[in-house]
Structure 1
Amino acid sequence: MSYADFRLDGLEESVPEPVQRIAWFVFEWIPLAILVGVWELMSGTVVPSVVLPSPFEVGAAVWELLVTGDVLPHLQISLYRVGVGLALSIVVGVLLGVGMARSQPVENVFEVFLALIYPIPKAALVPLAILWLGVGTETAILIVFLACLLPIVLNSYNAAQDVDQNLIWSAQMMGMPSWKIPLKVVIPATFPSILTGIRQAIPIAFIALVSAELIASNEGVGFEILRYGEVGAYTLMFAVLVIISAAAFFAVRGYEWAERRLIRWT
């Protein structure tokens, strides 16, 4: 749920829909407008404009990068890495979370592993990943996978523990084999919580991606941010930051749109 949705929850029944939409727009975009305004005031005053270009200069640079297509190959590579890493974390996270909730031996094996690895900043694992996989796509995918894993595991685990036992007993009475119950009963019952875990993992995936590409890549948006920063092209550096932020924003919004329809169908 977005900040605007949260603020408008109490208005749904008492305010006409057109007014709700205007209020949603205000709550959604006014904070961004304030941020841009503060950025504009600080550029050239508190912070030298060479180091902090104005938002208008950055906006022009974003347009230039998109029109010329210079950033598009790097953006495509980064989105591929996010997609693969997130997809792997969804598959492994759901199976692991449900398995831990339904099997004590599985929980005993993996609980300690997750508790030990999660507090470690994932960027700290990049040098180790480089030793294993080298510099490039595989390392970035691994870091995204590890960063996204726990939110999905926790949501799946907590939801699977709360599944109505009557559903499981009913499936057993109908002759369903025990190994099919997690797939046929538990996972469908935990579907809304699984979707929530994925929603939480999407922004984490982009954070982990940029961290990995800053250290262990020669392509992608993180590499472009580092490259422009090293040569002092700060306007282009901020432009790439804006582009990847916009990509993450639309990824979350697109997922929320799809999630509402999936929950409605299920």
Structure 2
Amino acid sequence: MAQTNITTHNRIPRQFQRAAQSIINWIPIAIVIGFWELASGTVVANDVLPSPIIVAFEVNDLIISGDIYSHLFISIYRFAIGIGLSISIGVLLGISMARSKPIENFFDVFLSILYPIPKVALVPLAMLWLGVGTGPAILVVFLACLLPIILNSYNAAENVDQNLIWSAKMMGTDGWELLQKVVIPATIPNILTGIRQAIPIAFIALVSAELIASYEGIGYLILEAGQVGNYQVMFANIVIISVVAYLFVTGFEMLREKVIVWV
């Protein structure tokens, strides 16, 4: 019976399998939107919680008018710089800690102290150091993404198959060449997983920083609309940044699948 089910599954065209999986993936979103529609005007006044249809029209208006693009570009720029810095430093530091005990001992206490601190709590301090604008947002994104990338890089480098390392050393590979040809390729899948985990964290940190320490960006638009009671615009901006974050995550997952196959 199990063999029959496997055979039947294999006979289904791949396109239909993907379409069915896509539908299943969107069911939770549909449920949330349904509850949102029911709550608007009943549980919560519709001027405070606009219906999804009203928000969808507002999203359309923002896109057509083009008013949001400059702010969206600024937010994406801050996201890219912040997560790019965290990847560059986090991967290097994580692998170095795994391969060198003195480096691990040096940074271990610092990371243990930094890890439980809510990164949004650092925004006022970042404002004192860097003023209001792009600097604090990049710093908060960088700090928020740094730890998951370091931890995944560290665990990946620490758990590299020792047989691979011993075999490489027996063939005369050592030092930087060993790191380049054996350790780094073996850690790529887990490093990519850490980056995948960091992307949504980066957007959370970005919007949080822009809510407090910026006069530009999607977070600022959300705060500005909320302060004047324009809740449909506020929700529209929330939807837009959520969709952008989803596109970044989905695009990175597609890239990761190709890279892992290549590795």
Deviation readout 1:91-123 (Å, 9 max, x if unpaired): 111111101111111111111111111111111
Deviation readout 1:109-157 (Å, 9 max, x if unpaired): 1111111111111110011111111111111111001101111111111
Q: Which residue of 1 aligns with 2:100?
A: 103
Q: Which residue of 1 aligns with 2:36?
A: 39
Matches within 5 A, 1:85-96: 85-96=82-93
Whether 1:181 and 2:211 are equivalent positions in the alignment is: no
> Could you say what the CA RMSD is over the residues aligned between the two structures, in angstroms?
1.6
- The SS at the match of 2:45 is coil
Q: Give 1:161 deviation, angstroms.
A: 0.8
Q: Which residue of 1 aligns with 2:218?
A: 221
Q: Which residue of 2 aligns with 1:6?
A: none
Q: Which residue of 1 aligns with 2:135?
A: 138
Q: Which residue of 1 aligns with 2:209?
A: 212
AA aligned to 1:225 is: I
Q: Which residue of 2 aligns with 1:77?
A: 74
Gaps of 5+ in 2: none
Matches of 1:31 and 1:87, distance apart in 2? 31
Whether 1:54 and 2:46 are equivalent positions in the alignment is: no
AA aligned to 2:144 is: A
Deviation readout 1:175-215 (Å, 9 max, x if unpaired): 44524433332111101001111111110000000011001
Q: Which residue of 1 aligns with 2:144?
A: 147
AA aligned to 1:131 is: L
Q: Which residue of 2 aligns with 1:7?
A: none
Whether 1:128 and 2:125 are equivalent positions in the alignment is: yes
AA aligned to 2:18 is: R
Aligned residues of 1:221 and 1:240 also touching (Cα < 8 A): yes
Q: Which residue of 1 aligns with 2:242?
A: 245
AA aligned to 1:147 is: A
Normalised to the residue count of structure 2, the TM-score between the two structures is 0.93
Q: Give 1:174 deviation, angstroms.
A: 4.1
Whether 1:172 and 2:176 are equivalent positions in the alignment is: no
Matches of 2:196 and 2:16, distance apart in 1? 28
Matches of 2:58 and 2:6, distance apart in 1? 40
Gaps of 5+ in 1: 1-10
Deviation readout 1:45-65 (Å, 9 max, x if unpaired): 100011000100000000000
Q: Which residue of 1 aligns with 2:195?
A: 198
Matches of 1:13 and 1:91, distance apart in 2? 46
Q: Give 1:169 deviation, angstroms.
A: 3.1
Q: Give 1:76 deviation, angstroms.
A: 0.4
AA aligned to 2:82 is: G
AA aligned to 1:25 is: S
- The SS at the match of 1:190 is helix
AA aligned to 2:43 is: V
Deviation readout 1:15-38 (Å, 9 max, x if unpaired): 223552343122111111111111
Q: Which residue of 1 aligns with 2:254?
A: 257
Q: Which moved more, 1:167-176 or 1:136-145?
A: 167-176
Q: Which residue of 2 aligns with 1:5?
A: none
